[in-house]
Chains A and B, each alone.
Chain A
Amino acid sequence: MIINPAFSATLPVALVASSLLPGLIIFALAEESVRLRTALNLLGALSKLLLVALMLWGVYHEAAFETRFELLPGLPLVLRADALSLLFITLSAQLWFLTTIYAVGYLEGSPHRSRFFGFFSLCVTATVGVAMAGNLLTFILFYEMLTLSTYPLVVHRGTAVARRAGEAYLLYTVLGGVLLLLGAVWLYTLTGTLAFRPQGVVGDLDARHHTSLIIIFVLLIGGLGVKAALLPLHGWLPKAMVAPAPVSALLHAVAVVKAGAFGIVRVVYDIFGIQFAATLGVMMPLAWLASATIIYGSVRALFQDDLKRRLAYSTVSQVSYIALGVALVGPLASVGGLVHLVHQGLMKITLFFCAGNLAETLGIHKISEMNGVARRMPWTMTAFTVASLGMIGVPPIAGFISKWYLSLGAMEVGADWVLLVLAGSSALNALYFLPILYRAWFLEPAGDWPQERHYPRAETSLALLIPPVITATLALAAGLLASVPASPQEWAKLVVLREFLDP
């Protein structure tokens, strides 16, 4: 399909600008300009959705969208939309829109909202940049922008605990950034390029560089593994759960951990090339590490009474499914890993929205306080139930599709031990999610709620209630209608076909 070159070059920039410009304007707005700020937020989110829809249509029909700026000699800043980047961008844009609505309701009447929404918009800008990066330099620039724009959101409440969490976040992610930068510089000295290309850019190097390449791989994956919360670099994520619920949603589902996992996919496929990485012998250790993280996160989640903390450890476990899918070096496992990028986002954002609703409406923060809460907040807990069952892998919810492809991928490459990891993870997920559902639905409330607020029209504010109901419905639809054209599953298959099997 042929598209006007000026148009195809403008679209990636427009996509970045659709959140950058509203964000910059919002910084300058007075605190009282609630309507204008909300309008700008929603306008940016809606225009981004529209642009993404255009790009989806174009990329599906094999159109190219690329913008280049000469940043340094031989090192351009490249923004490119391909099937893989659009998988991530579509998720981010959709969830961004819903998170914006949620955040407007969540922060109603609280201070520093212009600052919050300004950084919020910068975050999505950085995420889109990470997704569309056409080379490692562009990727690192936006990756660091994401770190810096997320920090003010983590410490938004300004409490001592929030500041400590922010410091931990910054320490981990800046260290990760340093590792990433070191790896990138070393790679550039060896290859003279940082471009992302199907089948990678290092396969032609002489065999005497293989040790260097292994170290570079470790540096890059180590740098990205911080945000992807790979063991033992995950420590910041459970600490950062003190942030407001929309920020938790941002960290766990939309932007930060996903940027790390997405980066791992890019490095493996477009820097090293999946087959060459397997030849180097680095993929199986990555699979072991991801498996260890999956089990470790689930076991730690089991012993948390704080709801958000349990969800945070669940993220540590679930995000590693993506790394595992890549590390198994097979098309089916790749489909499983890539589709989980979307599915985990839908399910986890639902859980964090619901946790936020419980905290905002009833003052519930601990699982032990949740007895009978479904009678008071049935819609919130229905959404929570759908997402929890999806996390366990119960069909027809989205998580089932991810686990199906990952299991098939493991069998395809003869790594049968992964089936045990996945079965163990599912069993552990059941052990830490089902007791929550039991408490909420089947036990009698213990008495008054810790801090109850009443809303006239529904169980909570509609701005807080509608987003989790929509995301839970999307999680259900992504599983039930997985074979509809352009569903996450079908798009992931397209990515694997175009990028890895038939580049």
Chain B
Amino acid sequence: MIASLPTFHWPLNAVLLGSGATAGPLEWMLLGALAVLWLVFGLWLLRSHTSARRGLTVALHAIAGLGLAAAALASDAALFYSGVTLAGYGTVALLLVAHGPGRARTAAVQVLLMVLGDLALFEILVSLYSQAFSVQFGDLRAAYAVKGQGLSLISALLVITAGSKVAMLLLLIPATDRLPSWRPGAASGLLCVALVSGVLPMVRLVDPLLSSESARYSLLASAAAAVFLCLLSALCVLGKSRLDAAVRRVSALASLSVATGVRGLAMLAVARRLAPLSSALEQRMLSWPFAVAAAATLALALVLAVAFGGLPA
């Protein structure tokens, strides 16, 4: 069904460096996802800000939304970059309006990450243009295939771009304790930014099938960079006491993971010893009479539980 969506192309020769916008199946899907997330973000904003700043909120939401749409539809680097920066600056400004100066430190780190990501993206596009002599994504992708092999500077820059934008989103997580409750609305706004300015450059520039070494490297390294940048940012944002708490939490999680892992390995070892038995059980469970008996037992247990004490909360 998605493949049957119509494709449109709008030449915008007078805009920026000679731009254009294209809407094909991928763009329609992306626009749809962005629209839903952006709407959630907008509703959350309308609930969380004071009425005195409603005009500013609506204007910023519209500008950043326009940036998202431009980035999603752009068929060239200049329009794409414009959309990315509009969306990024607009979203961070919206979060500042919504949270007030109490979140200034988090916002400052988010702005730094955004500027870092934008600068890296700018250098990527300039570097690819100097190879392709075109701002069209098709030509830039061909240039990336040449310049982005292995551990190249341009791959590293792509990693920084994606990593910094994803880190902006992840940065909301350590701050959740300070907020009244976890706010998926705020996350949905930053998720839009991370999608168009962190992930979309990869989709546009990197081999879509991840068949080349450089493509796989870029993707993996981006994830690593995102985690690294997020940790680094958390260090900047959190106070000492919160940092201690966060470290305790992370170490508790790590201990739990290690313990689970060890148990898992032990169970694996036991399972291997009991392989013939488990194989026989598996075959039994797949048989109809065994499945019916198991389902009946489960249903009876449920009925008894509801009748005599209710389900546990």
A residues contacting B by CB (< 8 A) are: 389, 393-396, 400-401, 403-404, 407-408, 411-412, 419, 423, 426-427, 430, 434, 438, 441-444, 479-484
Q: Contact: A442 with B17, CB < 8 Å?
A: no
Partner of A396, one of B56, B82, B100, B130: B82
Q: Contact: B119 with A482, CB < 8 Å?
A: no
B17 partner residues in chain A, CB cutoff 8 A: 401, 404, 482-483
A278 to B42, CA, bound (A): 56
Q: Contact: A483 with B126, CB < 8 Å?
A: no
A407 partner residues in chain B, CB cutoff 8 A: 122-123, 126
- Which 6 residue pairs spanning A and B have beta carbons closest together? A395-B82, A411-B130, A407-B126, A396-B82, A484-B14, A430-B115
Chain B residue total in the interface (Cβ 8 A) = 30
Q: Contact: A481 with B14, CB < 8 Å?
A: yes
A394 to B82, CA, bound (A): 7
Q: Contact: B130 with A408, CB < 8 Å?
A: yes
B130 partner residues in chain A, CB cutoff 8 A: 408, 411-412
CB distance from A455 to the nearest CB of B (A): 21
A438 partner residues in chain B, CB cutoff 8 A: 96, 104
Q: Contact: A395 with B129, CB < 8 Å?
A: no
- Chain B CB count within 10 A is highest, among A438, A444, A479, for A438
A295 to B41, CA, bound (A): 39
B119 partner residues in chain A, CB cutoff 8 A: 423, 426-427
A393 partner residues in chain B, CB cutoff 8 A: 122
A426 to B123, CA, bound (A): 12
A483 to B78, CA, bound (A): 12
B16 contacts the other chain (Cβ, under 8 Å)?
yes
Q: Contact: A442 with B14, CB < 8 Å?
A: no
Considering the complex, give the chain A residue whose CB is closest to the CB of B108.
A438
Q: Contact: A394 with B89, CB < 8 Å?
A: yes
Q: Contact: A395 with B89, CB < 8 Å?
A: no
A432 to B220, CA, bound (A): 34
Considering the complex, give the chain B residue whose CB is closest to the CB of A424.
B119
CB distance from B17 to the nearest CB of A (A): 6
Q: Contact: B111 with A434, CB < 8 Å?
A: yes
A423 to B122, CA, bound (A): 9
A419 partner residues in chain B, CB cutoff 8 A: 123, 126
A443 to B96, CA, bound (A): 10
Q: 8 additional contacts, CB 8 Å, given A400-B82, A482-B16, A484-B14?
A: A394-B118, A395-B82, A396-B86, A441-B96, A442-B100, A479-B16, A481-B14, A481-B15
Interface residues of B in 132-173 (CB under 8 A from A): none
A426 to B127, CA, bound (A): 17
Q: List 13 A-B contacts (CB under 8 A).
A: A394-B118, A395-B78, A400-B82, A404-B126, A407-B123, A408-B130, A419-B123, A419-B126, A423-B119, A430-B115, A441-B93, A482-B15, A483-B16
B97 contacts the other chain (Cβ, under 8 Å)?
yes
B18 contacts the other chain (Cβ, under 8 Å)?
yes
A389 to B115, CA, bound (A): 12
A423 to B121, CA, bound (A): 11
B211 contacts the other chain (Cβ, under 8 Å)?
no
A150 to B223, CA, bound (A): 57
Q: Contact: A408 with B14, CB < 8 Å?
A: no
Partner of B97, one of A389, A408, A442: A442
- Chain A CB count within 10 A is highest, among B81, B89, B122, for B122
A438 to B93, CA, bound (A): 9
B101 contacts the other chain (Cβ, under 8 Å)?
yes
B16 partner residues in chain A, CB cutoff 8 A: 395-396, 401, 479-480, 482-483
A401 partner residues in chain B, CB cutoff 8 A: 16-17
A480 partner residues in chain B, CB cutoff 8 A: 15-16
Interface residues of B in 72-92 (CB under 8 A from A): 78, 81-82, 85-86, 89
A225 to B176, CA, bound (A): 53
CB distance from A118 to the nearest CB of B (A): 42
Interface string of B12-45 (1 = CB under 8 A from A): 0111111000000000000000000000000000
B118 partner residues in chain A, CB cutoff 8 A: 394
Interface string of B249-282 (1 = CB under 8 A from A): 0000000000000000000000000000000000
B122 partner residues in chain A, CB cutoff 8 A: 393, 403, 407, 423, 426
Known: A395-B81, A396-B82. A411 touches B127 (CB 8 A): yes
- Chain B CB count within 10 A is highest, among A389, A404, A411, for A404
Known: A481-B14, A483-B15, A483-B17. A442 touches B115 (CB 8 A): no
Q: Contact: B115 with A483, CB < 8 Å?
A: no
A434 to B108, CA, bound (A): 10
CB distance from B36 to the nearest CB of A (A): 26
A412 partner residues in chain B, CB cutoff 8 A: 130
CB distance from A228 to the nearest CB of B (A): 26
Q: Contact: A411 with B126, CB < 8 Å?
A: yes
A403 to B81, CA, bound (A): 13
Q: Contact: B18 with A443, CB < 8 Å?
A: no
Q: Contact: A443 with B101, CB < 8 Å?
A: yes
A396 to B77, CA, bound (A): 12
A404 to B77, CA, bound (A): 11
A423 to B116, CA, bound (A): 9
CB distance from B104 to the nearest CB of A (A): 8
A271 to B200, CA, bound (A): 48
CB distance from A488 to the nearest CB of B (A): 13
A409 to B126, CA, bound (A): 10
A481 to B18, CA, bound (A): 9
A479 partner residues in chain B, CB cutoff 8 A: 16
CB distance from B86 to the nearest CB of A (A): 8
A419 to B124, CA, bound (A): 11
Known: A407-B126, A427-B119. A442 touches B101 (CB 8 A): yes
CB distance from A333 to the nearest CB of B (A): 12
CB distance from A142 to the nearest CB of B (A): 35
Q: Contact: B115 with A427, CB < 8 Å?
A: yes
A490 to B101, CA, bound (A): 43
A441 to B111, CA, bound (A): 15
A393 to B126, CA, bound (A): 13
B115 partner residues in chain A, CB cutoff 8 A: 426-427, 430
Considering the complex, give the chain B residue whose CB is closest to the CB of A484.
B14
Q: Contact: A423 with B123, CB < 8 Å?
A: yes
B18 partner residues in chain A, CB cutoff 8 A: 483
A423 to B117, CA, bound (A): 11
B89 partner residues in chain A, CB cutoff 8 A: 389, 394
A431 to B291, CA, bound (A): 66
B86 partner residues in chain A, CB cutoff 8 A: 396
Known: A394-B89, A426-B119, A438-B96. A444 touches B101 (CB 8 A): yes
